[in-house]
Amino acid sequence: MINKLWQKNVTPTAEIERFTVGRDRELDLFLAESDVIGSMAHITMLESIGLLAKDELETLLRELRSILGTIKAGEFVIEEGIEDVHSQVELMLTRRLGDVGKKIHSGRSRNDQVLLDLKLWTRRQIRDIADLTKALFDELQTQSERYKDVLMPGYTHLQVAMPSSFGLWFGAYAESLADDMLFLQAAYRMANRNPLGSAAGYGSSFPLDREMTTRLLGFDSMNYNVVYAQMGRGKMERNVAFALASIAGTVSKLAFDACMFNSQNFAFVKLPDECTTGSSIMPHKKNPDVFELTRAKCNKIQALPQQVMMIMNNLPSGYFRDLQIIKEVFLPAFGELRDCLQMTAYIVSRMKVNEHILDDPRYDLMFSVEEVNRLAAAGTPFRDAYRQVGLDIEAGRFTPHKEVHHTHAGSIGNLCTDRIRALMEQTLADCHFERAEQAEAQLIG
């Protein structure tokens, strides 16, 4: 029989318990640390409004710090028969402290408790994703500068088009991540608002000091309207999922390029040997499995916003058990993206480029635009220059001049690396991750 905070006289059947509890006991382990930290802020506020005595607060804080140590040591478990992390923490307190442990839930519901847990946990995960995104960004910029003078073909419609460079290729993905970071910043700001005190979605008759818990937990502000606080469940996860999907989209495209450019038919780049796998039948094979799995995982993450939306779609205001299922797709997504970012940064830092691609005459025609522009710069009308070069190509008379002189902002000769870095660093600075970290550290003591 599962122990429930809401249990009265009616006992659900085992099948009903299995179905309604679902994976909560497994997934709530993600939220255990946040649950304890949120409870520490809540009871500190309860003491300030006279619902706990000072000695009771000190006793509860001491025990919660002990439980937090158990969690950080990896020793915390949700026992068999316990419904969720909230029940487990309250049970541990009650076992150790008796009736004092039962006072911890005054003025809150499991609804605002899990909302708070999710927000505290999510903002910490966003910080980790931001750091790993920045690490990949740095590797891309390093490679962009290292190979900025090495030309490669640029493609449109998968046809050889115009000269590009490895500086442009690596740098393009760096700037894409700088844009992705804007989504992550917005997601963090929406997650970093305090729902505690909204209770079941309609507030409490206790004189709760929501400003105090907001300050103690380092939130930027609170979700002021208690009904909206509950409506925000699912919405927060959806918005964060869009930010994760944006990063995943960049990494997936990079993985696709790398797999293609690593193939023998392109041979533009060489992936590190330790990041490839072999064949059980073909002894020559070096398969880009890491990037193929990265591509698949990132494509899966790009579906996350739609999964969240379909779970929460068409729900009216108020809490519904449907929202529990969001945890099943949302919580694990951070770990998957974290792995993809780490693997991609590792490979990018060790990727070697082919500096002699243009020795192959199949790429000669990509310099046709350079020749058109050279003639136009010398006074030939552009359309006449275009026609002249086109006729030379058709007649087999075209001879490429393989020097390029692009100097405008963002081009082969002017990558604007410093400006792109400034965009990324400003976005990161505007997140102010340190505020939440400092508040939590002070609360824990």
User: pLDDT at position 413, please?
Assistant: 96
pLDDT tens, residue by residue, 354-377 = 999 999 999 999 999 999 999 999
Residue listed under structure tokens 């086109």: 390
CATH architecture classification, 14-106:
Orthogonal Bundle (1.10)
Take residue 157 and report the two structure tokens written for it. Answer: 């419609």
Tens digit of each residue's pLDDT (9 = 90 or more) over 278-332: 888 988 888 999 999 999 999 999 999 999 999 998 889 988 889 999 999 999 9
pLDDT at 7: 56
Cα–Cα dist 277/440, whole Å: 44
Residue among 247, 129, 123, 132 nearest 190 (CA)? 123
* Number of Cβ atoms within 10 Å of the Cβ of 269: 24
Predicted pLDDT at 1: 43
Three-class DSSP labels, 263-296:
CCCCCCEECCHHHCECCCCCCCCCECHHHHHHHH
- For 273-287, b where at least 16 C-beta lie within 10 A, e where not — what string? eebbeeeeeeeeeeb
Q: Of the candidates 302, 317, 334, which has an alpha carbon nearest to the alpha carbon of residue 234? A: 317
Domain 111-358+420-444, CATH class in plain words: mainly alpha
- Residue 114 tokens, joined: 């899990």
Across 140-202, where does the E strand assignment appear? Answer: 151-156, 159-165, 193-194
Q: How far is CA 372 from CA 148, 153, 404, in A?
A: 24, 17, 12
Reading the chain (445 residues) residue by residue, the pLDDT tens digits are 445 554 555 666 777 776 776 777 889 999 999 999 999 999 999 999 999 999 999 999 999 999 999 999 999 999 988 989 999 999 999 999 999 999 999 999 999 999 999 999 999 999 999 999 999 999 999 999 999 999 999 999 999 999 999 999 999 999 999 999 999 999 999 999 999 999 999 999 999 999 999 999 999 999 999 999 999 999 999 999 999 999 999 999 999 999 999 999 999 999 999 988 888 898 888 899 999 999 999 999 999 999 999 999 888 998 888 999 999 999 999 999 999 999 999 999 999 999 999 999 999 999 999 999 999 999 999 999 999 999 999 999 999 999 899 999 999 999 999 999 999 999 999 999 999 999 999 999 8
Using only C-alpha atoms, the chain has a radius of gyration, in whole angstroms, of 28
Domain boundaries, the chain: 14-106, 111-358+420-444, 360-414
Structure pTM?
0.93
CB 11 within 8 A of CB 99: no
